[in-house]
Structure 1
Amino acid sequence: MARPLPNQTLARTSATSLRHFPGHSKPSPPLSAPAFRKAAAVLLLAAAVALPCAVLYRAAVLNALRPVQVGWDRRPWWEREQTPLAVMVPDEDGNVDPAAADYLDSDDLKLEQVLQEASMDNKTIILTTLNAAWASSGSVIDLFIDSFRRGVRTSSLLKHLVIITFDWKAYKRCMKIHTYCFALATEDVDFSQEKRFQTAGYLEMMWKRLDFLRLVLEKGYSFIFSDADIMWFRNPFLHFYPDGDFQIACDHYVGNATDLGNIANGGFNYVRSNNQSIEFYKFWYSSRLRYPGYHDQDVFNLIKHDPYITYIGLKIKFLSTAYFGGICEPSRDLNKVCTMHANCCIGLQSKLHDLRIMMEDWRNYMSMPPSLKRFGALSWRVPQNCSLSLLNQ
């Protein structure tokens, strides 16, 4: 006798199994075509009514839950605290002003455009910030740009410099003296006046700057950030480490680029755009809430020991003051110096005085014959009006 086909065997097994369950009714006869069409129409009508109701119910539930942050938002605390650079506040009906939305979109496009135009081939740019107090003729920004022009192989770097301005006066001055300027929106905050070290206005400006740098990294751009009171005398790229995600200058350098005992200075750093650096800048910015009243540099020196830095895999390198010096710890050899910072200095006039002395010293050095340069016959005459002792008073 021929063996049944597999499908026949399955059908017989199913039928036998059904007979063994007490109370199982006989299979219903198949629906006729008109009845099937009627049933399908009823189902489609029910779905059409139920779907919008489900969407409205879900939106109502989510809106009710949104103010309650505990329990459902599982992101790290530093991501939950992250705030945008500009906030569009909806009205009572939940609508956002279209003009405000267009302004922010336009602002973002302008930033993207200026970054693209100023970028090096490897998407690296040089950034500094400027407010009206440092923007007047003969003030800090003029000395900053002049140092590029008088430095060794630094004048070509000006085409990669973007000046971020905190107020309208600084932006207008920037447009007169430089190619790439970007006005950073600072609603309800006046950053135009001189912000003395550790005042509330100074702290707010420093944190605003840090959050902006995070945005630049998220756009895929690596950068050198330099305070405008840093004089550029040589191309610094030759002295960066090939394996550092985040490289920062020091107020005091202990002699080892990886030693966390180095006292960092946030006024000069080189940062590669990658997942590690972006995550670090989020963590750094949000850490201001853990250390209220501290500026970004002090907070960095506190969080550099945090295990989370190791967890995300960020490679930190500290830059030697032999190449990246300042008033706190000058670069001793003018044959090596790349940058000199008017740090450890309070007050605009004190900074200007010592920066001008720096530039005179550099011009004197550059005018010397090579034999005297190699001999190291010249040293810095600063600090004069700036000093660490005055800072600690």
Structure 2
Amino acid sequence: MSTIRGTEFSHIPPESSGLSSLLKEAATEDNTVIITMVDREWAKPASLLDLFLESFRIGERTKHLLNHLIVVALDNQALRYCRRAHPRCYLHTGSGKKIGSVNPDGLIAGWNKKALVKEILELGYNMIFTEADVIWLRNPLMHCHPHNSVSVACGFSSSDQQHVTAENTGGFFYAKSNEITIDMFKILNVERVLYPSTGNQSFCDIVKREDVIRGLNMKVTYLDDDNFVRFCQQNRQNQSKITTVHASCYDDTKSKVQYLKLLLQDRKI
């Protein structure tokens, strides 16, 4: 398995025994875990969660990554189904809102998600966050920069990062556990009090902010949109280079399931 180098940052971790034990079980040798989130709409028979997990099983050099995946359920119904489909599931009890079909594609589209990301980083784990409406065709770890704090798929090149929109996000980011990334989420927690309306910022919105990048001296890798593509773009891309496909161009869950299922069926032929 490709690895991402760990960090030497030390801190006092918060108390979270249930999550801590799952993280310990799932972590790679360099303390990296893969996280996704689902609600009852995304975790049921013939759902996005099923397609997401299946993509790991049939993708190129991806099956073993299931050992490092934790599925975070945002409600009890999602948790029950998750436990039937995957061995490592965690109920995020701090969640007050489900992912839903209104805007399911924001990478960390609410304060509860931001809080969970911050908690995992504080516990000392590097993290890959992937939306569950993302199909993994190939192992993406080789694309994550081992020295930069953040690697993120935003649907633009490094020279054009100001033109990202919510639907352009690739549904995938890597964050290294270090002082820089933890401080970033601490800043966002302060903004939660000062500017409550900023809670729907995607990770792409956050990392393109000059005040964050410059203030923290944060190094960011913008992942190539030839590798991390949206479903509506994938027919125009070099198929041999595509690593993940994100169904962000569809708002409703039914359409996401329909088209991602067709994509997986094509891969099996």
Query: One fold, TM greater than 0.5?
Result: yes
- The Cα of 1:243 is off from its aligned counterpart by 2.7
Distance (whole Å) between structure 2 residues aligned to residue 359 and residue 327 of structure 1: 12
The answer for the alignment partner of 1:178 in structure 2 is: 86
Task: Determine if the alignment matches structure 1 residue 347 to structure 2 residue 252.
Answer: yes
1:225, distance to aligned residue in structure 2 (A): 0.3
Would the aligned equivalents of 2:31 and 2:125 in 1 still touch at CA under 8 Å?
yes
| Change in CA separation of 1:195 and 1:282 when aligned onto 2, cut-off 3 Å | farther
RMSD (Å) for aligned C-alpha atoms: 2.6
Matched, 1:290 2:195: yes
Single out whichever of 352-361 and 219-228 deviates more from structure 2. Answer: 352-361
Q: CA 1:356 to 1:303, structure 2 compared with 1: closer, same or farther past 3 Å?
A: closer
Is residue 2:238 matched to residue 1:333? yes
Deviates more, 1:277-286 or 1:267-276: 277-286
Closer/same/farther in 2, CA of residues 356 and 244 from structure 1, 3 Å limit: same
2:259 is the counterpart of 1:362: no
Provide, for residues 251-275 of structure 1, a one-character-per-residue CA deviation record: whole Å limited to 9, x for no partner. x323x3x653362627210111000
Distance 1:203 1:338, change over 3 A: closer
Q: Which residue of 1 aligns with 2:7?
A: none
CA distance in structure 2 between the partners assigned to 1:123 and 1:204 by the alignment: 21
Return the offset for 1:357: 1.9
Which of residues 217, 224, 238 is equivalent to 1:313? 217
What TM-score results when the alignment is normalised by the length of structure 2? 0.83
1:356 is displaced (CA, Å) by: 1.2
Unaligned runs of 5+ in 1: 1-103, 365-393
1: distance between equivalents of 2:206 and 2:79? 34
CA contact (8 A) 2:170 2:230 kept: no
Whichever residue aligns with residue 71 of structure 2, its letter is I
State how far apart, in whole Å, the 2-side matches of 1:284 and 1:328 are.
32
> What corresponds to 1:123 in structure 2?
31
Report the 3-state secondary structure (helix = DSSP H, G, I; strand = E; otherwise coil) of the residue aligned with 1:292: helix
CA contact (8 A) 2:111 2:199 kept: no
Shift in Å at residue 205 of structure 1? Answer: 6.3
Q: Match for 1:260 among 161, 170, 173?
A: 161
The answer to whether the 8 A contact 2:36-2:71 is kept is yes
State whether structure 2 residue 40 is matched by structure 1 residue 136: no
The within-5 A match list for 1:64-103 is: none
Does the aligned pair in 1 maintain the 2:162–2:208 contact within 8 Å?
no
Secondary structure at the residue paired with 1:209?
Answer: helix
Distance 1:338 1:176 in 2: 27
Q: CA 1:205/1:253 → structure 2, altered by over 3 Å: closer, same or farther?
A: closer
Residue of structure 1 aligned with 2:127, choices 223, 230, 245: 223
Paired residue type of 1:318: Y
How far residue 333 of structure 1 moved from its aligned partner, in angstroms, is: 1.6
How many aligned residue pairs are there? Answer: 250
Tell me if structure 2 keeps the 8 A contact 1:207–1:296: no
Classify the secondary structure of the residue corresponding to 2:78: helix
Deviations 1:62-101 (A, max 9, x none): xxxxxxxxxxxxxxxxxxxxxxxxxxxxxxxxxxxxxxxx
Q: 1:334 deviation in Å? A: 1.7
**Worse-superposed segment, 345-354 or 153-162:** 345-354
Contact persistence 2:107–2:171 (CA under 8 A): no
Per-residue displacement from partner, 1:193-251 (whole Å, max 9, x unpaired)? 834228xxx9996331121101100110001100000001111111222332111112x
Other structure's SS at 2:197 match: coil
Gaps of 5+ in 2: 1-13
Is 1:233 aligned to 2:137, yes or no? yes
**Matching residue of 1:157:** 65
Query: How far apart are residue 311 of structure 1 and its match?
Result: 2.6
Contact 1:203/1:294 (8 A) holds in 2: no
* Distance in 1 of aligned mates of 2:139 and 2:169: 19
The structure-2 alpha-carbon separation of the partners of 1:320 and 1:171, relative to structure 1 and needing over 3 Å to count, comes to: same
Q: Percent identity?
A: 29
Q: Cα distance 1:276–1:166, how it changes in 2: closer, same or farther (>3 A)? A: same
Q: Matched residues in 2 for 1:203 and 1:326: separation?
A: 14
Q: Which residue does the alignment assign to 2:19?
A: 111
Return closer, same or farther for 1:109/1:341 CA change in 2, 3 Å cut-off. Answer: same
Give the match for residue 184 of structure 2.
280
- Once the two structures are TM-superposed, the CA of residue 358 in structure 1 deviates from its matched residue by 1.6
Q: Does the CA-based 8 Å contact 1:262-1:318 persist in structure 2?
A: no
For residue 300 of structure 1, report the CA deviation from its aligned partner.
Answer: 4.6
What TM-score comes out, normalization by structure 1 length? 0.58
